[in-house]
Amino acid sequence: MALSGEEFDVIVVGAGIMGSSTAYQLAKRGKKTLLLEQFDFLHHRGSSHGESRTIRATYPEDYYFPMVIESYKLWKEAESQIGYKVYFKAEHLDMGDSHDKNIRGIIQTCHKYSVSHQVLDRRQVAEKFSGRFDIPENWIAVFTEYGGVIKPTKAVSMFQALAFQRGAVLRDCMEVKDIKKDDGVKGGVWVHTSNGEKFWGKKCVVTVGAWTRKLIKKVNGVELPIQPLETMVCYWRIKEGNEAKYAIGGDFPTFACYGEPYIYGTPSLEYPGLIKVAVHGGYPCDEDKRPWGPGMGLGSLKETVEERMSGMVDSGAPVATQLCMYSMTPDEDFVIDFLGGDFGKDVVIGGGFSGHGFKMGPVVGRILADLVLTGEAKGVELKHFRIQRFEENPQGNDKDF
C-alpha cells in the first residue's frame, strides 16, 4: 500500500487496459510505479470489462496496422509470462459495398504492408464459409489471417498482476480529483485524491477513459473533444444444430459489416450457443450519470443477423446484452500526447480510444511508457494522435470515409 506523501517515478491514473498495461511496462523497466483506480479494480463502470473484444489489423487508416501487429506480439509475450490465455486466434472478414471507401481503404492498407488477403464476391464468400455468410451481389469481402478474440477483464487483470509482480503499487477506490505541478526544486507533480491523500511523482500518465475530458479540464482547463457514449453489446442464439459452425477454434472469423451503422461480431466463445453481433457506436452520456439502458434500437442489427447469418442465427431479439462505454473523438482516432502547458512533458495523456482501442492496449502501454520516460516513442507515428489536431480542425484528422 502506498502511503500519502510517498514518492514515485511515475503515477498512472486509471487502471483500465491502457493504464494497467502502462504500469506493467513501467514496472518492467524498474521504475517505481503507482497505479490508481477510482473504483474497484476490474469494475464494470467503464470501458475495459466484459467477455470479449475483437482484434483485427485491417483498418482503412493505415497507421493502425503496425500498432496492431506489435500488439499481437505483446499479447502473446504477456500470456507467456502470466501462464494463461487471454487471446484466442481467429481469422477476420470485412464486408461492405464494393464502392465503400472503408473497404477500399482496407484493401489499400493490405497492399501497402504486403498483407496476404483475399477479395471475395458473394459466391466466393458463400463457398469459403459453407453458406454461413450471405452478402448482397454488390458487396465484396476482404479476408485476412489477422483476427481474434481477447478476454478483456481477464486481460486487465493479467497486466495488473504482471505489474504487481514487478514491484508496482496498486491502489483502487482512489478517485483522483486534481494533478498539480510542483513548482519547488524537485519539480514533478502532486496527484490528489478525493479522500485527501496525495502522492508525488516525477511523471504522471492519465488513462481515465470516459472521465478524460472532465479530469483534464479540471487539471489545466483544456477541453478535449472526447465524448462518452453508452453502447450495448448483444448476444444472439445460434439455431439448434448450427452451434459448432460459429464457435471459436474452427474456421468462423471475427467480422465487420461496413455501412451505416457499422456492425461487428465474434465467433461464439464466452457463451456457448450464442454469438456476439453488435453495433459500433452508442448514445452520448454523462459518465457519472449513465442511463444504463434501455440501449439502442435493434432494427439494423436484427436485419444483419437475419440476412448475413443465412438464417442460422435467431434474429428475433438478443438473448443477452451488456452495457459499456466508448470514449469517442470526432475522428475516432486516439489521443496520445503530452498535456503540455505548465506541465510540459511531465504528464502524458492516453484517451479517446473510441471503441476500437482495446486490441492495441499492450502497444499503447508501451508507447505511453516510452513518452513519459524518454519524451518520444520509437517505431510509431504519433502525429495522428496529437491534441493539436483539434485546434487546427475541430473534427480532427481529415478522412474521406
> What is the per-residue pLDDT across 311-344, written as a single tens digit (0 to 9) for each?
999 999 999 999 999 999 999 999 999 999 999 9
Local structure of residue 358 (DSSP, 8 states): G
How much is the pTM? Answer: 0.97
- Is 311 strand, coil or helix? coil
Residue 5's pLDDT is 83
Amino acid symbol at 391: E
Amino acid symbol at 171: R
Which range, of 112-126, 127-141, 147-161, 292-306, averages the lowest pLDDT? 292-306
Query: Looking at the predicted structure, is the pLDDT value of residue 295 above 80?
Result: no
Amino acid symbol at 74: L
Domain range 7-47+153-225+331-392, CATH architecture: 3-Layer(bba) Sandwich (3.50)
CB 234 within 8 A of CB 318: yes
CB 354 within 8 A of CB 209: no
Calculate mean pLDDT across residues 377-388.
94
State the cell numbers at 346.
511531465
CB neighbour list of residue 91: distance below 8 Å, 6 or more residues apart = 143, 144, 145, 146, 147, 251, 253, 254
* Number of neighbouring beta carbons within 10 Å of residue 47: 24
Question: Residue length, the chain?
Answer: 401
Report the C-alpha gap between 14 and 336 in whole angstroms: 15
Calculate mean pLDDT across residues 182-194.
93
- Is 223 strand, coil or helix? coil
Bridge partners, residue 104, by sequence: none
Local structure of residue 2 (DSSP, 8 states): P
Residue 185: pLDDT band by 50, 70, 90 thresholds? confident
Residue 293: pLDDT band by 50, 70, 90 thresholds? confident
Domain ranges of the chain: 7-47+153-225+331-392, 92-148+227-328
Report the C-alpha gap between 358 and 338 in whole angstroms: 21
- Is 233 strand, coil or helix? strand
Residue with cell 487483470: 157
CB 358 within 8 A of CB 150: yes
Report the C-alpha gap between 148 and 73 in whole angstroms: 13
Residue with cell 502473446: 76
Query: Looking at the predicted structure, is the pLDDT value of residue 31 above 90?
Result: yes
- Is 264 strand, coil or helix? strand
Residue with cell 477541453: 223
Report the C-alpha gap between 290 and 107 in whole angstroms: 38
Digit-coded pLDDT (tens) for 159-170: 999 999 999 999
Residue 186's pLDDT is 87
* Number of neighbouring beta carbons within 10 Å of residue 265: 26
State the cell numbers at 384.
495522428
Element (H, E) at 76: helix 65-82
CATH 3.40.50.300 fits 92-148+227-328, yes or no: no
Backbone φ and ψ for 16, nearest 5 degrees, come out as -80, -160
- Is 313 strand, coil or helix? strand
